[in-house]
Structure 1
Amino acid sequence: MDLPLLPKGTYYLTRITADDHAGWLWIVSLLTLVYPLITCFVRLYVKRGIYSSDDWSLFASTVLSTCQHTCLFVGLSYGLGKSTALLENQNIASIDGAVFASEVLFVAAQAIAKLSLALFSRRIFRNGNHGISLMCDVLVAATIGWGVTSLLILLPKCSPTVSLSSLASQQCPGNVLLWQIVTALDVTTEFAIVLVPSYLVMKTQIRRKPKLLAVAAFGMRLPSVIFSVVHVTKLQSSLSETDAGLAVVSPLAWLQIEIAWSLIAASIPSFKAFMKPFDNVSATNPDRSANLSHSQSRSDGLFMGPVKPTKKTDSKAGFAEPQVLELRPDNVESQSAVHHCSRRPSLNMNSVGSSALQEHIIRREVDWEVRYEAVPKS
């Protein structure tokens, strides 16, 4: 529908008419560029000084997404979104190249966004258990494999998704089929990214409400599956359109929505409100609710000194010699030894930092054995 005539001298970026749908792409592209940028900057600001691999992966994905939007803006400057009847031949070639570049960058940005969440899951849950570590590593490998496979599928093709040149469309059939394969693999990895962390969350010994919040945070990626399916559906229906210049608008718009939501959803699980209950939780052993810190692991060796104090004094400090107190009137003395089983090496108590006493332990089971023996005094 044509917009009403604007007052003379009014400047506008683009108009939406029956032969020009570029305005829809401008609106969608600008919104899907701004929101992920804000989310990324907020995450980097909140976590400043404590960045990890998943943060840098998300930053790299945001940069690639920005480049992908830039390619789309270049295509819009050449007439992307307008009817082919309004385009010149040289502009059609430039638009095709810009769209193809945006599709390749989309796959790269999407793959790294998935990798960011996979690395985050590995950092949270990988803690010594071989089975869980293997599960996290397989998730990381699956996201990388999707990106590499998708690029190998799309790069050899000689035209973008919906080429504005009818000659190019005849020379490069099967482009939609390739995108259907990429989408099927995309949906599979999305479900894996949601289900694996959710399964590991349910193994932890915490209250049900924090568990459900964490599962919901990881489940925020599920709309990306819907957007991906809608994109390939719109792509297939665009083949029946008579005007390729207008038909390309809807698939590209859903592609922008998908990458924007993917970037935003990759940051949601890292918010402190969702992950705070898991600060001291280990998923490696469901029978334990506390994730012992390094200082705690060193405090497993607890030594008890002799019952009666020694007679050594520090003359320089001016301390008086302690009085030796007899525990029993008979001619025997008592010696006690306390032992417990620990899988960690025991260290002297002097080597244990005070921070070990300040850690919060939810539950800790230790088996103690007390032995008593009476020996004659020497």
Structure 2
Amino acid sequence: MQVQTFGDGPRFSPVTSSDHAGQLWIVTILALVYSTLVSTARAYVKYKMFGIDDILIAFATILQLAQCIAIFVGLGTGGLGKFNSITTPAQWATSSKSTLAAIILGFLTMCLSKCSLLALVLRIIGRKTGKSRPICIAMMVVSALWGVGSCVAYLSNCRADTLLTPDNITQCPGQETRWAVITAIDIFTEVAAWLLMVELTWKVNMSAARKLQVIMAFSFRLPLAVLAGLHLFYFHRYPSAAEPQFAVIDSLLFQQAMISWSLISATVPNLKNFLKSFSLGMGFPLAYDDTMTGSGGAYAMRSFANSRFKGTAVGAGNTGVVSTTISARRRSEAGLPAQPSQHGWPAEGVLSGQATEGQPYATSSREHVDEDASSRTGSQDMIISKEIAWKITYEDRS
């Protein structure tokens, strides 16, 4: 078959009435680029704060890359996307094997993506008592079983080299039924995870606007249910088609969209705006990460000349740097003049983090941090913050 030319030269994969491989090339490459960029951004904003959810999403990203490579093999050396009538049986076998490998790797990628999101919810719940934690763990188990079970169900009683041949119905029977069950469980787990997050968020004592913001962050998973339904609809067309290599393209396009969106939507709740909005404040020693630092609401404490401090922490936790509410007994209450610090900053301005007239540099300690560190720290705000109250008194050394 001659390569079609357009304009000044040949095209890499021209789309014709008998060849739609170019469409799959484009969608697969874009899906890989988008998800990789989002995963890279996630790694940047959570640098040195990685948890089990980040490890799972990293493995999912690697599996997506392997899945894309399988698709590229089918497109490059096989006949994937082309009519069976214009390709050879050897190409049928190659495209069949590569497509089956891509489907299995797709199952595992979406499985790890589900588990990553549920692991994030589990970190949010922390040590909170109640039914939410065991339910979340049970859903992680169900999601893991779904991923493994989908692979086993699709591989059983199916010859890998006949998946996209004209006699695939006899060699791989019941493909529509398998996909229907897999899709139903997939949609159920996605909706159940979203409902769990809604139930958890609605119990938190915070404004309705912040509740909706958190819910919206996790609502990015819901379009996966629509994509799964569309994938199932187009998948039903290919087994009985006269040109299965060509007919399977539509379902593979939606498969790439599902995998990419699964990775992207699992990262959205980790972004700064959504993390800042979620603060439980219910008295539980909860935090996004027990070793997390870098809260944007913290202010540096300075030493004061000729003063001795006695500090008492109320409800101290182990969550690292957190926002603090400070009540200080000022020297004026004892009839003494205000004592400036060695840096010339009034005590009230430093403790409260508020600038006084003539002291614009006391507005925030972040202005002394370089721009790169500031942007990274701002992206690491805790998803759950705990407020600690301090009572500070001081005595004149003289």
Same fold (TM over 0.5): yes
Alignment partners' CA distance in 2, 1:276 and 1:256: 31
One of 345, 355, 359 as aligned partner of 2:324: 359
Change (3 A) 1:359 1:262: same
Percent identity over the alignment?
28
**Residues 32, 65 of structure 2: 8 Å contact kept:** yes
Alignment match, 2:170: 170
Please report how far the alpha carbon of residue 154 of structure 1 lies from its aligned counterpart in structure 2 after TM superposition: 1.4
**Residues 124, 286 of structure 2: 8 Å contact kept:** no
Alignment partners' CA distance in 1, 2:114 and 2:212: 21
Alignment match, 2:50: 51
Alignment partners' CA distance in 2, 1:162 and 1:235: 16
> Is 1:68 the equivalent of 2:33?
no
Alignment partners' CA distance in 2, 1:159 and 1:177: 17
Alignment partners' CA distance in 2, 1:4 and 1:70: 25
Alignment partners' CA distance in 1, 2:253 and 2:160: 15
**Residues 15, 21 of structure 2: 8 Å contact kept:** yes
Alignment partners' CA distance in 2, 1:202 and 1:131: 15
Instruction: Give the letter for the 1:18 counterpart.
Output: S
> Is 1:6 the equivalent of 2:2?
no
Please report how far the alpha carbon of residue 120 of structure 1 lies from its aligned counterpart in structure 2 after TM superposition: 0.3
**Residues 36, 264 of structure 1: 8 Å contact kept:** yes
Q: Deviations over 1:48-76 (max 9, x none)?
A: 11111101111110110110011000000
Q: Deviations over 1:133-189 (max 9, x none)?
A: 212212222221211221221122424699321234323210111111111110111
Residues 68-147 of structure 1 mapped to structure 2, 5 A cutoff: 68-77=67-76, 78-147=78-147
Instruction: Give the letter for the 1:217 counterpart.
Output: A
Residues 338-353 of structure 1 mapped to structure 2, 5 A cutoff: none
Alignment match, 2:368: none
**Residues 35, 260 of structure 2: 8 Å contact kept:** yes
Alignment partners' CA distance in 2, 1:106 and 1:265: 16
- After superposing on structure 2, the runs of 4+ consecutive aligned residues of structure 1 that deviate more than 3 Å are 159-162, 288-294, 352-364
Alignment partners' CA distance in 1, 2:219 and 2:184: 18
Please report how far the alpha carbon of residue 358 of structure 1 lies from its aligned counterpart in structure 2 after TM superposition: 6.3
Q: Which has the larger radius of gyration?
A: 1
Alignment partners' CA distance in 1, 2:11 and 2:322: 66
**Residues 97, 163 of structure 2: 8 Å contact kept:** no
Residues 166-245 of structure 1 mapped to structure 2, 5 A cutoff: 166-245=166-245
Instruction: Give the letter for the 2:11 counterpart.
Output: Y
Please report how far the alpha carbon of residue 11 of structure 1 lies from its aligned counterpart in structure 2 after TM superposition: 3.8
Q: Deviations over 1:249-289 (max 9, x none)?
A: 101111111111111000001112112132x425xx5xx59
Residues 228-377 of structure 1 mapped to structure 2, 5 A cutoff: 228-278=228-278, 280-282=279-281, 288=283, 359-360=324-325
Unaligned runs of 5+ in 2: 291-311, 326-385, 390-398
**Residues 289, 362 of structure 1: 8 Å contact kept:** no
3-state secondary structure, aligned to 1:19: coil
Alignment partners' CA distance in 2, 1:83 and 1:219: 39
Please report how far the alpha carbon of residue 126 of structure 1 lies from its aligned counterpart in structure 2 after TM superposition: 2.6
Instruction: Give the letter for the 1:17 counterpart.
Output: T
Please report how far the alpha carbon of residue 131 of structure 1 lies from its aligned counterpart in structure 2 after TM superposition: 2.1
User: Normalised by the size of structure 2, how large is the TM-score?
Assistant: 0.70
Alignment partners' CA distance in 1, 2:14 and 2:42: 36
Instruction: Give the letter for the 1:15 counterpart.
Output: P
> Is 1:33 the equivalent of 2:24?
no
Change (3 A) 1:209 1:163: same
Unaligned runs of 5+ in 1: 295-347, 365-378
Please report how far the alpha carbon of residue 228 of structure 1 lies from its aligned counterpart in structure 2 after TM superposition: 0.5
Tell me which moved more, 146-155 or 39-48.
Answer: 146-155
Change (3 A) 1:358 1:109: closer
**Residues 92, 162 of structure 2: 8 Å contact kept:** no
Alignment partners' CA distance in 2, 1:191 and 1:73: 32
Alignment partners' CA distance in 2, 1:131 and 1:263: 27
Alignment match, 2:17: 18
Alignment partners' CA distance in 2, 1:185 and 1:11: 45
**Residues 201, 215 of structure 1: 8 Å contact kept:** yes
Please report how far the alpha carbon of residue 82 of structure 1 lies from its aligned counterpart in structure 2 after TM superposition: 0.7
Please report how far the alpha carbon of residue 290 of structure 1 lies from its aligned counterpart in structure 2 after TM superposition: 8.4
User: Normalised by the size of structure 1, how large is the TM-score?
Assistant: 0.73
**Residues 4, 10 of structure 2: 8 Å contact kept:** no
**Residues 34, 260 of structure 2: 8 Å contact kept:** yes
> Which structure's relative contact order is higher, taking Cα pairs within 8 Å and 6+ residues apart?
2
Please report how far the alpha carbon of residue 356 of structure 1 lies from its aligned counterpart in structure 2 after TM superposition: 9.7
Alignment partners' CA distance in 2, 1:274 and 1:49: 19
Change (3 A) 1:362 1:161: farther
Instruction: Give the letter for the 1:359 counterpart.
Output: T
**Residues 159, 169 of structure 1: 8 Å contact kept:** no
3-state secondary structure, aligned to 1:18: coil
Q: Deviations over 1:181-207 (max 9, x none)?
A: 111110111111111011101110111
Tell me which moved more, 134-143 or 229-238.
Answer: 134-143
Q: Deviations over 1:300-347 (max 9, x none)?
A: xxxxxxxxxxxxxxxxxxxxxxxxxxxxxxxxxxxxxxxxxxxxxxxx
